[in-house]
Amino acid sequence: MVEDYTNAFLVSAFCLVFMALFAIWAIWGLIVALGTGWAADKALAALPRNSD
């Protein structure tokens, strides 16, 4: 008789899938934040300066 490792496999698989999806979410968020910052920098640089 062999031991049943089904539950251990399912828990490990859930952890790995969760970490992979979290990493994808973090990278996507970083890319969006960098893009937003770049766009804001370009928009602010394009504004005319007042020399009061």
Distance CA 49, CA 45 (A): 9
Q: What is the chain's length?
A: 52
pTM over 0.75: no
Per-residue pLDDT tens, the chain, 52 aa: give them: 899 999 999 999 999 999 999 999 999 999 999 999 999 999 999 998 887 6
Distance CA 11, CA 27 (A): 24
Distance CA 12, CA 18 (A): 10
Report the SS3 class of residue 41. helix
pLDDT of residue 9: 97
Q: Which two tokens stand for residue 26?
A: 């973090």
> To which residue do tokens 């893009």 refer?
35
pLDDT of residue 3: 94
